[in-house]
């Protein structure tokens, strides 16, 4: 991430992810930018876009590897378990569109 153009691209991707993707807990929507997860997600997904390796399985693997602390850190759940299916679809659409712009 030392490349300034990559840093800017990741920041733009993070901003888009943060505004579109949310965690659903008891029908409450916590957007990833509010949860401070959008940058981490973007940093981990960006290489898939650059290397043209974007596919749903790879994205889900990454989302499963991102721990989200709940209950004051007493427990962790994979981010993938907290995203509704529609958010996963929206994320894939966003990533595909972003990749086309690169």
The whole model's pTM is what? 0.92
Whether the predicted pLDDT of 1 surpasses 70: no
At residue 15, φ and ψ (nearest 5 deg) are -60, -45
The DSSP H or E segment spanning 23 is strand 22-25
| Residue 98 scores a pLDDT above 70 | yes
Ramachandran angles phi, psi of 37, nearest 5°: -110, -10
DSSP states of 13-28: HHHHHHHH-EEEETTE
Quote the tokens at residue 41.
């997600």
pLDDT over 70 at 2, yes or no? no
pLDDT, residue 49, reads 97
Q: What pLDDT is attached to residue 3?
A: 74
Residues in the chain: 102
| Domain residue extents for the chain | 4-101
């Amino acid at each position: 991430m030392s490349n300034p153009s990559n840093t800017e691209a990741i920041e733009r991707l993070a901003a888009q992810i943060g505004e579109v993707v949310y965690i659903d807990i008891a029908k409450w929507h916590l957007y990833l930018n509010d949860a401070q997860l959008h940058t981490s997600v973007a940093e981990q997904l960006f290489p898939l876009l650059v290397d043209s390796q974007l596919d749903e399985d790879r994205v889900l693997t990454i989302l499963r590897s991102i721990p989200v602390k709940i209950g004051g850190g007493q427990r962790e759940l994979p981010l993938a378990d907290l995203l509704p299916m529609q958010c996963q679809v929206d994320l894939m659409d966003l990533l595909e569109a972003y990749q086309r712009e690169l």
